[in-house]
Amino acid sequence: MTKPYPLTLFATCVWLFFHLPALLAQSNSSVQEYLDHIYPELQTLYERLHQQPELSLQEENTARLLADQLIDLGFEVQEKMGAYNLAGVFRNGPGPVILIRTDMDALPVRENTGLSYASQATGTNAAGEEVNVMHACGHDMHMTVFVGTARTLIQLKDQWQGTLVMVAQSAEETGVGAHLFFQNGLYEKVPKPDYALALHCNPYLEAGKVGYRSGPLLASVDMIDIEVFGEGGHGAAPHTTRDPVVLSAQLIESFQTIVSREINPQEPAVVTVGSIHGGTVHNVIPDKVHLQLTVRSYSNEVRDQIIEGIKRRCRHLGMAAGLSEEKLPVIRIRDPFTPTTDNDPELTEKLVGVFQKELGTENVQEMPKYTFGEDFSRYGIQDHKVPICLYWLGTVDPERVEEARKGGPELPSLHSPLYAPVPEPSIRTGVRTMATAALDLWSQ
């Protein structure tokens, strides 16, 4: 008797030919169906997080909430990996390791959105002052998407194999959180990722859309303090002094020529003097002035060139002012600095294809570079090189975006007391894109 296997195999192939597209579509619809089920809980979580912000390095309650969410889902959670950094690991058989990161900290900003769930929280800053606190950079949205993605991927764990690493990070706003994570051995304590993903709210992009850029997306950031010394005296007798106020003014003017006259015009860069403090009264020339600068660029070479230009000007203008070697300006570059966020081109291309399939081509937009900084950059530049991609999540009512384009009211920027992401569809779009991105990478 002839065995039926060839016919069975043929029939199976025919069945798959006609039904595979539907099966693949069902996988994506599963994300949306489960998201429909949990969305009300996610919006409630978002409003709770928005009302209970915590400053950088003080995210104790926020970290506890996220850790409990991951533990309830079956993750192995390690906490306090530098400040309130935590990492959850879910092993689901052999396959790629995917890391998804959220930040947790808020800003010392008084909220003025008028939302029913607006923050009334206060906190104590590093100087010991009581300040209002607000999630003015959208980290509450990031955390909500983070939880929604974790819940969705665990619900659909029969559709993927590999390892999921969910990391919640302290102190992104101050640029030290990722540094603390790696000082405490993140990549030694969790499986080393094959890919690292993150998203960030965008205050100019319509809710329901995402934005991307291959290569450099966000700038490196340096915070620089300069003490400008002098020899004080009576304001009526400046010839008897070495005036640090005048020298500071010369330095500030000179710093502006670094970018305009020394950096290749094809290389974007910023040197901003954001603070100058010196003197106490009208008629006394002080002994010193304190300057605070921020420097931003997209390459180590340009960063080094700017810093060298600042040092050179401080030395030679100080000497021209008649200062001795001991009284030349002292420069302190804060450590750690924030490296350039450089999206891996191959990974970014893959994700763009996933997003276009999930949202439609019209809802996936290539974006320009920004000179904001993001310490997610550090997840890709450790000894274990990791392809990273951070993409933008649209959060603004499309009608408001259209009004602004036509000359109407300007859209509030990140860090504005008026910035208020639209919860829906922003949360849904974040979870859909992040979850489907992970599922696609596991299927490679």
> Domains in the chain, start-ordered, CATH in brackets?
20-218+340-442 (3.40.630.10), 220-333 (3.30.70.360)
Residues 243-282 pLDDT 10s = 999 999 999 999 999 999 999 999 999 999 999 999 999 9
Contact 185, 375 (CB under 8 A): no
pLDDT value at 7 more than 80: no
pLDDT value at 20 more than 50: no
Query: Which is catalytic among the residues 173, 206, 358, 375?
Result: 173
- Residue closest to 387 by CA, chosen among 96, 110, 163: 96
pLDDT value at 17 more than 60: no
**Residue 214 neighbours by CB distance under 10 Å:** 17
Residue 383's pLDDT is 86
Residue 360's pLDDT is 98
Q: How far apart are CA 145 and CA 407, in angstroms?
A: 32
pLDDT value at 2 more than 80: no
Residue 24's pLDDT is 42
Residue 3's pLDDT is 41
Question: Is residue 383 annotated as part of the catalytic site, yes or no?
Answer: no
- For the chain, what percent of residues have pLDDT higher than 90? 93
- Mean pLDDT over the full length of the chain: 94
Structure-block tokens of residue 173: 């706003």
Contact 184, 81 (CB under 8 A): yes
Question: What is the model's pTM?
Answer: 0.90
pLDDT value at 9 more than 90: no
Residue 8's pLDDT is 54
Contact 202, 392 (CB under 8 A): yes
Residues 125-170 pLDDT 10s = 999 999 999 999 999 999 999 999 999 999 999 999 999 999 999 9
Residues 37-71 pLDDT 10s = 999 999 999 999 999 999 999 999 999 999 999 99
Q: How far apart are CA 328 and CA 321, in angstroms?
A: 9
Question: Is residue 173 annotated as part of the catalytic site, yes or no?
Answer: yes
- Per-residue pLDDT, averaged over 380-400, amounts to 96
Query: Which is catalytic among the residues 54, 103, 111, 231?
Result: 103
- Per-residue pLDDT, averaged over 89-112, amounts to 98
Q: How buried is 227 (Cβ within 10 angstroms: 0-12 exposed, 13-18 middle, 19+ buried)?
A: middle
Residues 6+ apart with CB under 8 A from 379: 99, 101, 178, 193, 196, 198, 386, 388
Q: How confident is the model at residue 384 (pLDDT cuts 50, 70, 90)?
A: confident
Residue 385's pLDDT is 92
Q: How confident is the model at residue 23 (pLDDT cuts 50, 70, 90)?
A: very low
